[in-house]
Structure 1
Amino acid sequence: MPLLAPIRSLGLRSSLRPAIRRLRPAVETSQICRYASTKHPKNFKPPTQDELEELRERTIEFTRREITHDVAQATDHKNEFPLDMWQKMGEAGLLGVTADEDYGGLSMGYQAHCVILEELSRASGSIGLSYAAHSQLCVNQLMLNGNEEQKAKYLPGLVSGERIGALAMSEHNAGSDVVSMKMTAKETDGGYLLNGTKMWITNGPDAHLIIVYAKTEPEAASKGITAFIVDTTEASGFSCARKLDKLGMRGSNTGEIVLDNVFVPTSNILGQINKGVRVLMEGLDLERLVLSAGPLGLMKASLDCTLPYVHERKQFGVPLATQQFIQGKLADMYTKYRASSAFTYSIARAVDESYTNPEIRTQDCAGAILYAAERATECGMDAIQCLGGMGYMNEMPAGRIMRDAKLYEIGAGTSEIRKMVIGRAFNREFGMR
């Protein structure tokens, strides 16, 4: 695939957006009045395959220039996110793919979001994960649930990369069982005081804006949770207790955050009071769908590092790639990627093409990330095995890819929870709880 001209010189925010406009006509006035979807940005129109391929090529161009092997390795080895990457991604237009153009976004959909996350994760799983927490968990949640004042105030800075976003739901004793969260929000003059801790928060150590879930009526269980927009730059009492030292996704800065009498004005309630679970569920299926593209990128990365090595490395006088055991692993890795990719993009396409009344099936979104995550870990292990002794060395990316892939079997709902979710979705269809 030939390199294209640098992204910044062509657009996306100064590059992809104008390029996309050249690929398809501007939306007609009648179409502007048509907008009824609550899941897609204003003036959304399903992208063509040519547009998605153009987006993919431009994202690859960005990663080749900005997320080199050395950058990816340093991010992992130092356990530090390259903070200048946020502005670079913002300038490239990658941070607001599902945001309205009014706020600097691309007004594209979930196929496009998957394309970008896949290629970023191919270059660096850590950078891809932090991107997803910002662009999907924070930006897209604001797009789905924010009022006009909230979106106008916060989205431009998030889309430009000037501000970093996150979402805080999990706690020490409330991971899969989110309803058992202990963080409280007590009503006071003009707003609420938030108290408690949140754990395993991606982008937590760096975030300027965090969507935080807290109990406004603790005795009401799931019907007493509210989502709040917390501006950490103005929140007295907010702190990151510690940055976490993880097995994988190192450099995707993850922390334990503490809110000690943090005042949040009523205007920063996201959605309705005591309807936080609805806000959460509004984006959860789409979160699973988009995040399933992260493992796709890691599977491609596994092939990227394995294929050249086994064709150059000789044992018994012939390249490793001529050995049937190695060929079998390569065939399995490739087939797992292609099957996972077909699953993810078929669901994303269905969501985009049904945009006037989006068809979003829980079992499809949970199934996509369940399947892709487990296959990505297997591909990472196979990459290490194919590289042999070199695969076990930290100078090679195979070990990093495997460690990164494992996170997708745990974060955003474990594989076990995803299976339960799929089973319960079928039960609901048959009138059972």
Structure 2
Amino acid sequence: MLTFLSWAMIVVFMYVILTKKMTPFSSLVLVPLVFALIAKLIGVANEGSIGTWIMEGIGKTSNTGLMLLFAILFFAIMLDAGLFDPITAKMIQFAKGDPLKVLIATAVVAATVSLNGDGTTTTLICVSAFLPIYKKLNMKIMNLGVLIIMQNTIMNLLPWGGPTARAMAVLGVEADILSYLAPGMVLSILYVIFIVAPFMGRKERNRLGIVNMTDEEMAQLTVITDPEVQAIRRPEKWLFNVILTVGLVGWLIAGSFIEAIYQPPFVLFLVGTTIALLVNYPDLKDQGKRISENAGDAVSVVILVFAAGVFMGLFQGSGMADAMAQSFITIVPEALGGFWGLVVALISVPGTFFISNDGFYFGILPPLAEVGYTYGFTNMQLALASLMGQAFHLLSPLVAFIYLLLRLLDLDMGEWQKESAKWLVGVFIIFVGTALALGYIPLYIPQ
């Protein structure tokens, strides 16, 4: 009966998510609560109370939630202060009228702006900066759309990005997951900048040649015309903001390897956010306005993490997780057990494309992980494996901001998906190949 309830719960959860009958937040709390209560009432649940299970689950996700809250606020403040503006301007000056340089500059700026983990922000900044150049030089707009989505796909794996935060919450891993993701991410970014963009650029250069643009024409491309945006920029604080950002992220990564300097990630971003506010916006009213205007993005992510804690607490505390894992083992051929990390990585491709991140990580990953434990795989290995399919996730029609990207660039979704996918295969191979080569995901565990 407990096995039946566990599968029924996942089916109901997936149904309400995919049909949008309930929000992810509501479904993460109410669906497992109803099934846990049923298991309690008919006497098949483990010993313990509903409240205790929930608190245990939230306890496992609280550090992730706190880290995300301050990480999102920190990068939002850096964006407001204009941290990325000089980088964009320098790249435009570097590109001038050479299509090859324009494409390389696009890749660099898209990767840099994606540091805050938000696809909408990346789209708006990159399209505003580069679309006029592409049009002026008669370049293929499709290339712009492909490079933006590729770099955002890679940077979306940062711990404060959506999918990684969900994997962390579900499997209880800390922000040191970044140290395992970083090699594949760095290689993928270099692949886009030094292979994909130059390949596109050489084709465009052969087709169009090189057009000389005056300094005045280039300057016009970077002028901020919105007075409200201009008012919150802090160009005089740019160097300080660079040092603060690089130092914070560097400390976060280094702390994963050097125990003596390790600090909880939420502490680093808490202190970083406070310093960023005090230095860039010393006036109390300005500080309050920056927090209130950026809090919505942070809260919408953080409440999902705590709701995931409720889901996992009830799923595991009631015994449904164990029951489902045992049933899964009887279904999956034993010969595949030792390759479970690779199996999860392959499942994550269609899983994160056809199902929302909420549906996959909160609905599909828990039973996959329970099976993985029985074959000897760890939380970190399974979390990494589940993120491999993110190479294609942002091409999914379920991703909201891509419609903004397609509308601004006037691109056909099907053609854009096809063109992007052929390059993103390389990103997927780099992700998986790097994780396997470095031993972060075992290719095979003898059974």
TM-score > 0.5 by shorter chain: no
Q: Which has the higher strand share?
A: 1
Structure showing greater radius of gyration is 2
Taking structure 1 as the reference length, the TM-score comes to 0.29
Q: Which has the higher helix share?
A: 2
User: Comparing both chains, which one has the higher relative contact order based on Cα–Cα distances under 8 Å and sequence gaps of 6 or more?
Assistant: 2
Taking structure 2 as the reference length, the TM-score comes to 0.28
